[in-house]
Amino acid sequence: MRPLRADARDNRARILAAAEDVFGQSPNASTDEVAKLAEVGIATVFRHFPTKVELLEAVLTDRLERLRDRAADLSRDDDAGAAFFGFFTQVVSESASKLAIAEALSAAGTVAGEAAKQAGAGMREAFGVLLDRAQQAGAVRRDAGFPEVYALLVGCSRGATATGLTPEARGRMLGLVYDGLRTGSTS
Amino acid sequence: MRPLRADARDNRARILAAAEDVFGQSPNASTDEVAKLAEVGIATVFRHFPTKVELLEAVLTDRLERLRDRAADLSRDDDAGAAFFGFFTQVVSESASKLAIAEALSAAGTVAGEAAKQAGAGMREAFGVLLDRAQQAGAVRRDAGFPEVYALLVGCSRGATATGLTPEARGRMLGLVYDGLRTGSTS
Amino acid sequence: MRPLRADARDNRARILAAAEDVFGQSPNASTDEVAKLAEVGIATVFRHFPTKVELLEAVLTDRLERLRDRAADLSRDDDAGAAFFGFFTQVVSESASKLAIAEALSAAGTVAGEAAKQAGAGMREAFGVLLDRAQQAGAVRRDAGFPEVYALLVGCSRGATATGLTPEARGRMLGLVYDGLRTGSTS
Amino acid sequence: MRPLRADARDNRARILAAAEDVFGQSPNASTDEVAKLAEVGIATVFRHFPTKVELLEAVLTDRLERLRDRAADLSRDDDAGAAFFGFFTQVVSESASKLAIAEALSAAGTVAGEAAKQAGAGMREAFGVLLDRAQQAGAVRRDAGFPEVYALLVGCSRGATATGLTPEARGRMLGLVYDGLRTGSTS
DNA sequence: CATGAATGAGGTTTCATTCAT
DNA sequence: AATGAATGAAACCTCATTCAT
C-alpha cells in the first residue's frame, strides 16, 4: 500500500479535521455534513473511510494518539508531579471546549476498531506511566489505583463540559480533585 | 385540563417506564421500540407525547424530579455530612448501572423544555441545600463552590459509567474525591 | 400474527402486482418504481416487504404457487397426455409475454428464501406428477427423465421469450419438442 | 483510425477478457471489478470503452463473432448433419458452464449497438446456413423453420444453465430435442 | 496513454410523525 | 381513546463517469 497521492492525502486530512469538528459538536451528525464542511463530495468521504464507523474510529484514533504523544512527551519531564498534573489539567481544559475529546476518552474503552483500540490502550498506558512516576516521586498518593484515576480524568472532562463550567470553576474543581489525589491519606 | 382517564394514565406511566428503559440502554433508540416494550401502539405514544423530544424531556424530568425528591428528603437528615456524601454516592453508584441518569444529569443544563428546565433547577437547588448544610456542619470545606461540586457529581457519574469501573474502583474513586472535598484547606 | 387489516391487505396485493409487472419487465428495476406503480409511498413497500430481496422472493413465490396450483389441477384430468402437454404449452405461451415467469422458473433453483424454495419444490413436484402420469399413459416416452424435461420447460420459455418468437413459431417450436418427447425411442 | 499502440491493444484485450469473466459470473458486476481483474486502472477501462454499455456490447460482440466463426467453419464440413448437431451440442454444452454466453445469445435480439447487432445477424446467418445444409442433406426435417430452431438453441442453453443440469441430463435433453428435429414428420 | 482520486445521482433502508379504522 | 398502516425526508453507501497527475 504505497502512500497516497499528495492531493488525496490533503483531502484525507481535511475530511478528518472536518469530522473532528462536526462530530465534536454533535456526535450524531450525518456524513453529509462532514463532506460539506470539508468541501468535498460525499463519495470522497467514503473513498477515504469506507463506512461511517471507520470515520468515527479514525477521528477517535487521531485524538487518542495525540493525547498519547503528549503524555509520552511529558513522561520524560524531570518533575514527575508537574508532568502528571499538567497533563491532567490540559486534557480537562481542552475537553471543556471540545466535547468530542471527552467522548473519545470514554469511547476508548468501548470501541471495536483495532486501530482505535490500540490507540486507546497506548494512551492509557502512557497516562499510566505518568501516574506511576508521580506516585514514585511522592506527588500522588500511592493507594490511588489506575482505574479510578483514569475514570476521574474522563469524568472531570465530561463533567466540566456537560455543566458548562467557567474556567475559574474548572480550576477550582481540579483543585479539589488534586487535593484528594495528594492527600497523604495513610501512606 | 382535566385528569386523564384511568387507563390513559396507566398507559402514560407504562410508556414513560418503557422509555426510561429503552433510552437508558441506547440513547438513539427509535420510538417504535418504546411502544413495543410498553405494549401499546406507536400512535398511543404520540398521543401522550406529541413529539419524540417531548418524550425524552418527560423521561429526563421524571428522573430529575426523583433525584430532587431524594435530595429534599435527605436535607431533613440530622447528619448533614452523611446526607451529602450519601446522596453523592448513591447518584454515582446508580449511574454506573444506568447510563441514562448520567445523560440526564448532563443534559439538564442544555435542554430546552420548560418542565425539564424547572426539574433541573429544582434538583440543583436541592443538591445545593445538601452542600450548604454539609459545609455549615463542617463536613465539606467552605471554599468549594456549587458549580464545581455539581460538575464533580456529574463527572463522577459519567466517568464511572464510561470507563466501566468496578464497584470497588468506584468506591476508591469516590474516596479520592471525598478526601478532596473534606480537606481542611483553610485558605 | 393475526390477519392484516383490509386496507393493508389490499395494499400488499397492489404492491405485489406492481412488483410482478415491474420486475417482469426489467429485473433490475428499483423499488421506487414499484412504489410508483402501486401508488403507495416507498416506505409502504418496505413495511410489507422489509427488504428488496424479500419482495423479490414474494413475487417469485406467488408465481410458483400459481403454477403449482395449475399443475395440481391438471393432474386430476382424465387425459394425462393432454394435461401434460396442455400445461407445458400454457407455461411457455405465457412466458412469451411475461419474461418474469421464465426468470422465476430459472431462479427457482437458486433462491435462498424458505418460502420461495418450498414453492419451487412444490411446483416441480406437481410438474413431476404430470410427467409421470403422461408417461404411464404412454403419451410421453418412458426414458425421459424429470431433470431434462424440466430443463426443456424452462428453456422453451426462455428461448421463446428471448428471441421474440411469434405465436406461430412458438407453436412450431413446441411441436418439435413434443415430437421428441413422444418419439418411440428405438433404443 | 490508425491502429492502437501495442500496449494499448494488449490492454484492450486484457480488459475484454476480464469483462467476459466478470460479467459471465455476475451480470450486474461493477466496472471496478473488471478493472481490478484486468489489473489496469479504472480510467483505462473507460478510455477503451467510453461507457459501460459499450463494454458490455463489446463482450457480446466478441462472443457472437466467435460463435459465428465456428459455425462458418463447420459449414464447410462434408457431413452437414454432423456439423449442425455438433454445433448445437457444443453451444449448449459451453453455455452450461458459461452463463454469459446464454445471456449473449438471448440479448442478441434486444441489443442496440451497431456492432453487436451485426455480429448477432452474422451469427444467426451462419447458423441458418448450417440448418439449411442439414435439411437439404435430410438430417433435419424440412418443416422446421429457422426462428423456432434458433429459439431452441437459445432455450436449451438457458434451460440447461438455469436448472443446473448434469452433463448426462444435458445429453438426454439434447437427445429428446434432436429426435424432434429429425422425426420424419409424417403427420 | 495510464492512473487513481473525485464526484453526484440514485438505491436501499429507517424513522418521526400523521391518517383511517 | 387506541391502534397500526402510510408517508416522505433523510441516512448510508455504490457506481458510472470525469479530472488532475
Cell matching residue C94 = 405465457
Q: Which residues of B153-184 are buried (b: 16+ CB within 10 A; e: fewer)?
A: bbbbbbbbbbbebeeebbebbbbbbbbbbbbe
> Among C150, C164, C173, whose Cβ lies nearest the Cβ of D109?
C164
Alpha-carbon gap, residue A91 to A157, rounded angstroms: 7
Interface membership of D4 toward C (CB under 8 Å):
no
Cβ within 8 Å of residue C97, ≥6 positions away: none
Give the mean model confidence (pLDDT) for residues D128-147: 97
Q: Which residue has the higher pLDDT, D183 or C40?
A: C40
Interface membership of C38 toward D (CB under 8 Å):
no
A-chain residues near B173 (CB < 8 A): 148-149, 151-152, 155
**Given a cut of 90, is residue B24 above it in pLDDT?**
no
pLDDT value at position C26? 87
Report CA-CA distances (Å) from C22 to C31, C35, C43, C145, C150. 9, 10, 17, 35, 26
Per-residue confidence at D96, pLDDT binned at 50, 70, 90? confident
D-chain residues near C178 (CB < 8 A): 180
Rounded to the nearest angstrom, the minimum Cα separation between A182 and chain B is: 9
Percent of chain D with pLDDT strictly greater than 70:
92
- Name the 3-class secondary structure at B4: coil
Average pLDDT, chain A: 90
Interface membership of D64 toward C (CB under 8 Å):
no
Q: Which among A154-163, C95-104, D76-85 has the top mean pLDDT?
A: D76-85
**Given a cut of 60, is residue C4 above it in pLDDT?**
no
pLDDT tens-digit series, residues C125-134: 999 999 999 9
Per-residue confidence at B33, pLDDT binned at 50, 70, 90? very high
> For an interface test with D, which of C158, C168, C174 has the most D Cβ atoms less than 10 Å from its Cβ?
C158
D158 — phi, psi (to 5°)? -65, -45
Task: Give residue D85's Cα distance to chain centre.
Answer: 16
pLDDT tens-digit series, residues C77-126: 999 999 999 999 999 999 887 777 777 777 777 777 888 889 999 999 99
> Among D28, D173, D175, whose Cβ lies nearest the Cβ of C151?
D173
D-chain residues near C185 (CB < 8 A): 179
D99-110 vs C146-162: helix crossing angle, rounded to 10: 30
Tally the C-alpha atoms within 13 A of residue D171's C-alpha that lie toward its C-beta.
3
Question: Of C17, C137, C132, C145, which is closest to residue C71 (Cα–Cα)?
Answer: C132
Cell matching residue D147 = 426462428
Burial of residue A51, with CB atoms counted within 10 A of its CB: 0-12 exposed, 13-18 middle, 19 or more buried: exposed
pLDDT value at position C1? 42
Q: Which among B91-100, D1-10, D115-124 has the top mean pLDDT?
A: D115-124
Alpha-carbon gap, residue C61 to C58, rounded angstroms: 5
Question: Of C27, C36, C26, which is closest to residue C14 (Cα–Cα)?
Answer: C36
Per-residue confidence at B10, pLDDT binned at 50, 70, 90? confident
Q: Strand F: which residues 133-172 of B lie within 7 A (CB)? A: none
pLDDT value at position D4? 53
**Given a cut of 70, is residue A151 above it in pLDDT?**
yes
Cell matching residue D32 = 471496478
**Given a cut of 90, is residue D50 above it in pLDDT?**
yes
**Given a cut of 60, is residue B1 above it in pLDDT?**
no
Give the mean model confidence (pLDDT) for residues A96-122: 81
Burial of residue D142, with CB atoms counted within 10 A of its CB: 0-12 exposed, 13-18 middle, 19 or more buried: exposed
The nt closest to A46 (CA vs C1′) is F13
A80-97 vs A114-136: helix crossing angle, rounded to 10: 140
Interface membership of D169 toward C (CB under 8 Å):
yes
Question: Inter-chain contact B159–A152, Cβ cutoff 8 Å?
Answer: yes
The nt closest to B5 (CA vs C1′) is F1
**Given a cut of 70, is residue B45 above it in pLDDT?**
yes
Report CA-CA distances (Å) from D161 to C108, C148, C161, D33, D156. 13, 11, 16, 24, 8
Cα torsion for A106, A108, A112, A117, to the nearest 10°?
-170
Question: Inter-chain contact C177–D180, Cβ cutoff 8 Å?
Answer: yes
D-chain residues near C106 (CB < 8 A): 158-159, 161-163
D87 — phi, psi (to 5°)? -60, -50
With residue A160 as reference, give the H or E element that holds it.
helix A146-162
Q: What is the DSSP string of C93-143?
A: HHHHH-HHHHHHHHHTTT---HHHHHHHHHHHHHHHHHHHHHHHTTSS-TT
Which position has the grid cell 395494499? Answer: C11
Question: Inter-chain contact B151–A157, Cβ cutoff 8 Å?
Answer: no
Task: Give residue D4's Cα distance to chain centre.
Answer: 27
pLDDT value at position A150? 97
Alpha-carbon gap, residue A81 to A157, rounded angstroms: 20
Cell matching residue D52 = 459501460
Interface membership of A187 toward B (CB under 8 Å):
no
Question: Inter-chain contact D179–C178, Cβ cutoff 8 Å?
Answer: no
Strand F: which nucleotides have any atom within 7 A of a protein Cβ? 1-21
Cell matching residue C82 = 393432454
**Given a cut of 90, is residue C73 above it in pLDDT?**
yes
Total-model pTM: 0.86
Alpha-carbon gap, residue B138 to B45, rounded angstroms: 49
- Name the 3-class secondary structure at A74: helix
pLDDT tens-digit series, residues C17-55: 999 999 988 888 999 999 999 999 999 999 999 999 999
pLDDT value at position C186? 46
pLDDT value at position A1? 42
Residue C34, Cβ neighbours under 10 Å: how many? 26
Question: Inter-chain contact A155–B159, Cβ cutoff 8 Å?
Answer: yes
Per-residue confidence at A186, pLDDT binned at 50, 70, 90? very low
Report CA-CA distances (Å) from B4 to B9, B13, B38. 6, 12, 18
pLDDT value at position D186? 45
Assess contact for C68 and C115: CB atoms under 8 A: no
pLDDT value at position C101? 78
Alpha-carbon gap, residue A5 to C113, rounded angstroms: 45
Give the mean model confidence (pLDDT) for residues D24-47: 93
Tally the C-alpha atoms within 13 A of residue D52's C-alpha that lie toward its C-beta.
11
Interface membership of D186 toward C (CB under 8 Å):
no
Chains touching chain A through at least 3 C-beta pairs below 8 angstroms are B
Secondary structure of chain D in HEC code, one letter for each residue: CCCCCHHHHHHHHHHHHHHHHHHHHCCCCCHHHHHHHHCCCHHHHHHHCCCHHHHHHHHHHHHHHHHHHHHHHHCCCCCHHHHHHHHHHHHHHHHHHCHHHHHHHHHHHHCCCHHHHHHHHHHHHHHHHHHHHHHHCCCCCCCCCHHHHHHHHHHHHHHHHHCCCCHHHHHHHHHHHHHHHHCCCCC
Q: Which residue has the higher pLDDT, B102 or B89?
A: B89
Chains touching chain D through at least 3 C-beta pairs below 8 angstroms are C
Per-residue confidence at D183, pLDDT binned at 50, 70, 90? confident
Cell matching residue C23 = 420486475
Rounded to the nearest angstrom, the minimum Cα separation between A131 and chain B is: 15
Per-residue confidence at A104, pLDDT binned at 50, 70, 90? confident
Give the mean model confidence (pLDDT) for residues A101-108: 76
Assess contact for B171 and A118: CB atoms under 8 A: no
Alpha-carbon gap, residue C140 to C183, rounded angstroms: 8
Interface membership of D168 toward C (CB under 8 Å):
no
pLDDT value at position D69? 96
Q: Which residue has the higher pLDDT, C186 or A41?
A: A41
Interface membership of B154 toward A (CB under 8 Å):
yes
pLDDT value at position A4? 55
> Among B145, B164, B176, whose Cβ lies nearest the Cβ of A169?
B145
| Nearest Cα residue in chain D from C186 | D179
The nt closest to C10 (CA vs C1′) is F5
Report CA-CA distances (Å) from A48 to D41, D47, D174. 18, 25, 53
pLDDT value at position D7? 64
A88-102, B24-38, B99-113, D112-126: segment of lowest average pLDDT: B99-113
